[in-house]
Structures are given as structure tokens and as C-alpha cells.
Amino acid sequence: MWTSSQYGKGGGAGDVESGRSPLYPTMQEAPELRWAFIRKIYTILAVQLLLTVAVAAVVVSVRPISHFFVSTGAGFALWFFLIILPFILLLPLHRYHQKHPVNLLLLGLFTVAISFAVGLSCAFTSGKVILEAAILTTVVVVSLTMYTFWAARRGQDFNFLGPFLFGAVSVLFIFALIQVFFPLGKISVMIYGVLAAIIFCGYIVYDTDNLIKRYTYDEYIWASVSLYLDIVNLFLSLLTILRAADN
């Protein structure tokens, strides 16, 4: 499926800009194809993030929407459904992630469901805190992405992070359940937010490294979902920290 290419010894800045320079030392596929795949992923990711911002902005600005979810039984039931809907959609999304256009339709529904959850998280948060979390998320994501590309070109590999991150997320999930049933106060909420932010920073590096080296060309939907969830979860983690500090 991947084509190999030969490289000369004099690859310079022009090669990087034109996509002819290998992304990592042992690269065997054509760099032009991998760069085209990467651009496709980030285009889809940008559309997802813009859709999330739009939906969340509507939920935050139209106050009856958020009040409906928190003040009525039907609203609470709908809120619970929207929370579990992304997990439900992950199953068909994984099954049909290579089947066009079903994969794009499922991706759109998945993104909208996540966006509503993000909007409800922001609905009762001050605008200053939301802006601070958004700025911090942008800086961290851009910095970690640039670092991962830089490190990959110098032979660094981050695949070893997979098992550690999976274990860390499992612990984080148990921590969240404890918080739900046995609230431990503002300090524990901040600790949870810090741990979650660190974990999803690791996932951004891990998934970006997979994007550079391991995702196949027909896994563009799944690659987009992975990076999108990393960014959204990082934003929500930073929002949790800043909101607890603000209160």
C-alpha cells in the first residue's frame, strides 16, 4: 500500500516545504503521500473544532438551552443521553471508519454530541475562565505538535507511551467515579484536573507520533477522532482547574 522512495544526502529546507523530506529517519514510504495524509487529518480536525466552538457558543449564549438541561427531568434525561451518545457512536464509527460517506456522517454526529457536552460544561462558567482555558489549550496543542514533529525527525519514538497512558486513563476514570459518589472538595477537583491535563498532553504526543508513523491512509477518520478527543479532554481538564481556582 505504501510506496518506497530513495533519498539523497542533501535534503534541505526546500525539501521539507515541498514534502520530499522524510518525517523520521527510518521512513520507507513516499513523504509526499504522508504529508498529504497529515494535511487531510488536520483539515478534518479543524472542521471538527470549528463545529464544536459553534455548537458550544450557541449552548452558552442561549441561556434557556442550558437551563432546560439542569432544571427539568426531561432535560436531565437528555443531558445523560448526550453524555453516553459519543460512547455509543464510537462502536459504529470504528466499524465503518473506512466506508464513505457513512464515516463522515457518523463523525459529524459524534462531534455534535461532544460539542453539546462541551457547551454544557462552559454554560455555567465565567467567560474569563473559558477564554483562559481556550488560550492555554491552543498554546499547549501547537507546542506539543511542533515538538513531536521535531522529535520524530531526530529519531525519537513515543509508541512506548501507549500502555502507560492507558493505565493512567483507567486510574483517572476511577478517580472520577470516586468524585461523583464521594466528593472530596475543591483541592481534589484541582488535582483531578492537573492529572487529566498531564495525561492528555501525553496522548497528544502519542497520537501525533502515530499520525506521523503508524496510521494507514484509510484510517483518517479514526486518526481525527483520536486527536479531537485529546484536544477536547485537555480543554475540559484545564477548564476544571481554572474553574476550581476561580471559585
Question: Where does the pLDDT of residue 4 fall: very low under 50, low under 70, confident under 90, or very high at 90 and above?
Answer: very low
* pLDDT tens digits for range 80-121: 787 888 888 888 888 887 788 888 999 999 999 999 889 988
CA–CA dist 214, 24 (Å, integer): 12
Which triple of cell numbers denotes residue 47?
Answer: 472542521
Q: What is the pTM of this model?
A: 0.87
* pLDDT tens digits for range 167-211: 999 998 888 888 777 777 778 888 889 999 999 999 999 999 999
CA–CA dist 211, 38 (Å, integer): 7
Q: Of the ranges 22-26, 49-53, 137-141, which one carries the lowest mean pLDDT score? A: 22-26
Other residues' Cβ atoms within 10 Å of the Cβ of residue 220: 21
Which among 246, 238, 244, 245 has a CA at the least distance from the CA of 118? 238
- Cα 247 off chain centre by: 27
Question: Where does the pLDDT of residue 19 fall: very low under 50, low under 70, confident under 90, or very high at 90 and above?
Answer: low
